Amino acid sequence: MSDIKKVVLAYSGGLDTSVIVKWLQETYRCEVVTFTADIGQGEEVEPARAKAAALGVKEIYVDDLREEYVRDYVFPMFRANTIYEGEYLLGTSIARPLIAKRLIEIANETGADAISHGATGKGNDQVRFELGAYALKPGIKVIAPWREWDLTSREKLMGYCEQHDIPVDFSTKKKKSPYSMDANLLHISYEGGNLEDPWWEPEEDMWRWSVSPENAPDQPTYVELTYEKGDIVAIDDQPMTPATVLAHLNKLGGDNGIGRLDLVENRYVGMKSRGCYETPGGTIMLRAHRAIESLTLDREVAHLKDALMPKYAETIYNGYWWSPERKMLQVMIDETQHVVNGKVRVKLYKGNVTVVGRQSDDSLFDEKIATFEDDAGAYDQKDAEGFIKLNALRLRIAANKNRKMDS
């Protein structure tokens, strides 16, 4: 007899998690609570309610988390100009701590003994969900069916559905992509299928959010972004909420062929994985945020932020959003953003994001000093001689000692 009486399942309404509902009921003889999060995946999530009810679920949560997702997770991450391994904008990684948080909240509300998810035993998501859950509720039990059952293929899952009278018309009668896809307001990812061959070029009809740069408009699109404390608060002088900002930039970016990425990344569990991503809005945000920081941040602060960013990115990628080190880094990052205010103008053209203007009342750019024209004595160029000699002192001493400086 299982000591688990109630489980909260992260439920998408698709084939895998519908099987998991029945499998949990059969294997653990427990009550299942389903939680479906709307984080901007672009598909209607409300039908998950009816699907869960058809499987005998009594407590069903369908939550719109789009604003919380962008405000409390995406925006803080972009304040750090975060990219993993030089390319990946962490669209999947940053969504997982929010889902983990909500799973634990629902477990507390419903008196559940455990949580469950549909992540496989090969991927990063199992780590992200579970590290988050344990950080927020150390004694919670986690059930990961893909690490327990023998339903290791789509055919076996379908057979289980037939055996247990699980309705699966919603997942089988639509044209199915050959790829495993995951979407939210920040990105859509593609894995598996032909992409498992790193030499394979993805076909054009794989991409869902963007036109190809070749087919993008022949005229550029200009857009102005207004920043307050490092976050975009308006586009073209129109105030917008965080989720609306990202949705709007996704549309503009996608229409101009921006944000496609083909990447081989290093998963936390140890293997390399090839995936393709579309992050049109995030690509614009990253370029523009660096532009406004270039105007407003002190040099050493900016350089220190850049030095810390890879650690911050790795922390998020590996699932440690709720760790003390991420929180420490976030405090440091957020402290730098008080002066990151102003406007950035970007040009979107055939896959490119070009910064063409930036302005701020907090700008450290001094035209009187930076000018190539007569600066009226604002900068004494003779001072540079002593500066250079002092900085060359150790090099001169080493050269006088005949230290070899091999190229």
Q: Is the pLDDT of residue 174 over 60?
A: no
User: Mean pLDDT throughout 224-242?
Assistant: 98
Q: What is the pLDDT of residue 11?
A: 96
Angstrom distance (rounded) from CA 283 to CA 335 = 23
The bridge status of strand 31-38 relative to strand 6-10 is parallel
Q: What is the pLDDT of residue 175?
A: 53
Q: Is the pLDDT of residue 170 over 50?
A: no
Angstrom distance (rounded) from CA 123 to CA 119 = 7
All domains of the chain, ordered by start, with CATH? 6-77+89-176 (3.40.50.620), 182-359 (3.90.1260.10), 371-400 (no CATH)
| The two three-digit tokens of residue 64, written as one number | 């719109």
User: Mean pLDDT throughout 338-353?
Assistant: 98
Q: What is the pLDDT of residue 61?
A: 98
Nearest to 168 by CA among 59, 382, 22: 22
Nearest to 7 by CA among 23, 16, 97: 23
Q: What is the pLDDT of residue 356?
A: 98
Q: How confident is the model at residue 407 (pLDDT cuts 50, 70, 90)?
A: low
Q: What is the pLDDT of residue 176?
A: 65
Q: What is the pLDDT of residue 370?
A: 84
Cβ burial, residue 292 (10 Å; 0-12/13-18/19+)? buried
Active-site positions read 16, 96, 125, 180
Q: What is the pLDDT of residue 379?
A: 87
User: Mean pLDDT throughout 381-389?
Assistant: 93
Render pLDDT for 213-232 as a digit per residue (tens, 0 to 9).
Answer: 999 999 999 999 999 999 99
Least confident of 38-52, 258-272, 277-291, 331-345: 38-52
The residues, ordered by sequence, that sit 6+ positions from 197 with a Cβ below 8 Å of its Cβ are none
User: Mean pLDDT throughout 264-285?
Assistant: 96
User: Mean pLDDT throughout 200-215?
Assistant: 96
- For 353-406, the three-class secondary structure string (H helix, E strand, C coil) is EEEEEEECCCCCCCHHHHCCCCCCCCCCCCHHHHHHHHHHHHHHHHHHCCCCCC
Q: Is the pLDDT of residue 119 over 50?
A: yes
Assess contact for 224 and 355: CB atoms under 8 A: no
Residues in a beta bridge with 238: 235
Render pLDDT for 59-118 as a digit per residue (tens, 0 to 9).
Answer: 999 999 999 999 999 999 999 999 999 999 999 999 999 999 999 999 999 999 999 999
DSSP string covering 51-94: HHHHTT-SEEEEEE-HHHHIIIIIHHHHTTT--BTTTB--TTGG
Q: Which of 151-165, 168-182, 240-254, 392-406 has the highest mean pLDDT?
A: 240-254
Cβ burial, residue 15 (10 Å; 0-12/13-18/19+)? buried
Q: How confident is the model at residue 171 (pLDDT cuts 50, 70, 90)?
A: very low
